[in-house]
Structure 1
Amino acid sequence: MIRILGLDVSKSSVSVCLLTEKPEDPRQFYYECPFFKLSADAKGIQDLLALNADIALLEPTGNNYSKLWGTHLARAGVEVRLVGHKELRNYRANHLALPDKDDDADALALACYYFDYQQDPRRFVQIRDREIVRIRELVLRLAHLNRVQSPIMNRVRQDLAWQFPEVALVKSRRGESGEPPLLWGWLAGIRKSKRYDCLYSQTVGLGITDTVRQHALRICNLQSEEYVIEAELRELLADSRFEHYRTVFKMFGFGDRLSSVIISQIYPIEGFLDADGKPEVRIRQGRNSKKPTKRHLSLRRFQKALGAAPSMEASGDSRKSKVVGGSDLCRKSLWQWVFTRIEPKRSRLKNDIGKTLGEQLDTEKAAGRPVKLVRNRIAAKGARLLFRELVKGLK
């Protein structure tokens, strides 16, 4: 008899529901079920593994909370499946009619979910291999470091406006070998610069405070951590499995960071295709035209993963389209790519991709359409072109 665990993970504990079959009345079973509450310690892990589960289901709560429990279960030979947040929320409310959301209700819903959808792999979040998981961890760490640095830099520049105004707006970049940016390194006292020494000796500012020097040291440390992460990412991207992806990414002008973000979301590309390794296309009747209409399902899933799939919302006479779901980080990264490699004519890609996207962007901007809308459209079209180029290389 198969033993299914539903785990709802919290910061320092987990609620567990063990089922051997789906209850006939999940709502009534909710009040009778002996749920387990396990802490994130040695005893909690030991008690979890003592349940001798065959399959465990949990939500993909980032790279932090669920990682501990999922890793220990996998090491013990338990198959781990992930269920998306939106899918579980709808299933719990609409299919099981469970009471208000709590940890135990989520654990029960996760366990029941397996019995209803065990034969449909698309109902579960894809579990990526170790290298892809590591790439994703590093990408998220870089995004975190970027968020941490920005307010510190802004604070330092505001202080330099009255302490050393001659350098308040200087853009200083990290060296190719990982040396801290010259300005921040000089302010922190770990790099020397005759130029800044000379400027400071003649400054009209009121003098650099210890607070600014401490902030500069923090920036240098964060930049050094970024360099180590980027070096590991380059090593991971050099894997022969990603050769085709790197070739296509080069056509789009993607740097290492953007390449890492996208690979962490879409590898392997075969996961978006049908059983024959071809893009899945179905013909359905159009809602309005009532004529046979092609539905490019593989492309749609690919765009969704990149956060570039618009969804239609209609209510009465109101109809609007907006992008929902997918990776927020990927959506932001694609938008930045449009802003830096497609929109500026001086740095626009010198190939058919740059020409196609650039001409459409220029035309729509000239027509007076909102710039934000135009950039989102170009990012979505770029995602479509990326999918076609990746699939083309598989043939």
Structure 2
Amino acid sequence: MAIAEATIEDNLNQEKYQHYMEVLSTWGIKNETAAAFISHAYPIERFLDPHGKPIIERIDGSKRYRSLAAYKLSMGIGRVQYQSGGELKWKAGGSSTSRKALYLWVKFQVIMKPNLDNPKIAKLHDYYKNGSSQIVEGQTKVFHPGKGDQRVMRVVRRLVEALFYELIED
């Protein structure tokens, strides 16, 4: 084992990261990806209100999930608005290091060599292959996750959201 890998493992074995490592291990996420994830997600409490609950803002009859949006931005899969000339556009915002680590993990562990014995990975793999469906006005509509890298990043988004809700569970 290289010195850097040993250092990462020693740091991840600290008590303060125990809960994070338990959640990540249920997904089969190993130390290198876990280190990239934890470096941007710790402490999860900074995304919550003083009572430890996610911040949800209600505006004009709709909900804005402020905690989840800030968390996704720190993971590198948030969206930021920018102006180019006279038009407003959206682009990926946040840490590219975390985004790349999660992208590679999904690419290899969910798409190329999925461990379908793990129900969490199997669910992400199914979303990658088949998309999602919702019942709209009594009819089932199938929503496909896109093509190529866009499809992979939508699976990453699903993973990050699931990890957020698992980390804030009591």
> How has the CA–CA distance of structure 1 residues 264 and 243 changed in structure 2, closer, same or farther, with 3 Å as cutoff?
same
C-alpha distance after superposition, 1:224-258 (max 9, x if no partner): xxx10110111111111111111100122211111
Q: What displacement does 1:272 show?
A: 0.8
Other-structure match for 1:281: 56
Distance 1:238 1:312 in 2: 38
Other-structure match for 2:71: 302
Distance 2:12 2:37 in 1: 11
Q: How many residues align?
A: 156
Q: For residues 319-330 of structure 1, what are the structure 2 equivalents within 5 Å?
A: 321-323=90-92, 325-330=93-98
Secondary structure, counterpart of 1:343 in structure 2: helix
Contact residue 252 and residue 349 of structure 1 kept, 8 A: no
Q: For residues 1-395 of structure 1, what are the structure 2 equivalents within 5 Å?
A: 178=1, 227-285=2-60, 292-311=61-80, 321-323=90-92, 325-344=93-112, 346-364=113-131, 369-392=146-169, 395=170
Contact residue 312 and residue 319 of structure 1 kept, 8 A: yes
Secondary structure, counterpart of 2:76 in structure 1: coil
Secondary structure, counterpart of 1:276 in structure 2: coil
Contact residue 248 and residue 389 of structure 1 kept, 8 A: yes
C-alpha distance after superposition, 1:13-40 (max 9, x if no partner): xxxxxxxxxxxxxxxxxxxxxxxxxxxx
Distance 2:145 2:10 in 1: 44
Q: What displacement does 1:275 show?
A: 0.8
Distance 1:294 1:352 in 2: 30
Structure 1 residues not aligned, in runs of 5+: 1-177, 179-226, 286-291
The structure with the larger Rg is 1
Q: What displacement does 1:355 show?
A: 2.4
Identity of aligned residues (%): 28
> How has the CA–CA distance of structure 1 residues 257 and 319 changed in structure 2, closer, same or farther, with 3 Å as cutoff?
same
Structure with the largest fraction of strand: 2
Letter of the 1:353 counterpart: K
